[in-house]
């Protein structure tokens, strides 16, 4: 069954770029209409969707983060990545990668049925 695993820098300095990768195992990007997403959760706070990319390469981002975010797929490595630039302490959070859900009838860009375990990123000098 499909599994996702986040990796990347756990400590990022203010104003720098946060970079994370999500390794996909037990499946691939090439099949289906799933979106590939990043979602975060600040300490003690709720969940915030960051953005997604499709296997076809199209992307869509949370308008509040759009100017700083990039999500990309690497089909050769079966992984997808997140870059968030000009980070501040407000970007400190647990970052999850997640797959968009497809039922037998349709695919949903904004529902997520498979999640990684999450990785903690702290923004601090």
Binding positions for another protein, rule: CB under 8 A: 46-49, 60, 62-64, 96, 98, 101, 103, 108-113, 115-118
User: How far apart are the C-alpha atoms of 67 and 90, rounded to whole Å?
Assistant: 15
Nearest distance, CB of residue 115 and another protein, angstroms: 4
Contact 75, 55 (CB under 8 A): yes
Nearest to 22 by CA among 72, 64, 69: 72
Q: Which of 27, 29, 85 is nearest to 61 (CA)?
A: 85
CB nearer to another protein: pick between 103 and 124: 103
How many residues does the structure list for the chain? 125
Choice between 69 and 98, CB closer to another protein: 98
When the beta carbons of 70 and 107 are compared against another protein, the nearer one is 107
Residue 125 CB, nearest distance to another protein (Å)?
27
Instruction: Tell me how far, at minimum, the Cβ of 31 lies from another protein, in Å.
Output: 18
In whole angstroms, the minimum distance from the beta carbon of 113 to another protein comes to 5
Judge residue 51's burial from the number of C-beta atoms within 10 Å of its C-beta, 0-12 exposed, 13-18 middle, 19 or more buried: buried
């Amino acid at each position: 069954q499909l599994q996702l695993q986040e990796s990347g820098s756990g400590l990022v300095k203010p104003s720098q770029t946060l970079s994370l990768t999500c390794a996909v195992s037990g499946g691939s990007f090439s099949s289906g209409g799933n979106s590939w997403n990043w979602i975060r959760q600040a300490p003690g706070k709720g969940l915030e969707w960051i953005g997604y990319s499709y296997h076809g390469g199209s992307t869509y981002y949370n308008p509040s983060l759009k100017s700083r975010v990039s999500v990309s797929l690497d089909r050769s490595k079966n992984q997808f990545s997140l870059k968030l630039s000009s980070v501040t302490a407000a970007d400190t959070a647990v970052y999850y990668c997640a797959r968009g859900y497809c039922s037998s009838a349709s695919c949903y860009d904004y529902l997520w049925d498979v999640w990684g375990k999450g990785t903690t990123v702290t923004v601090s000098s």
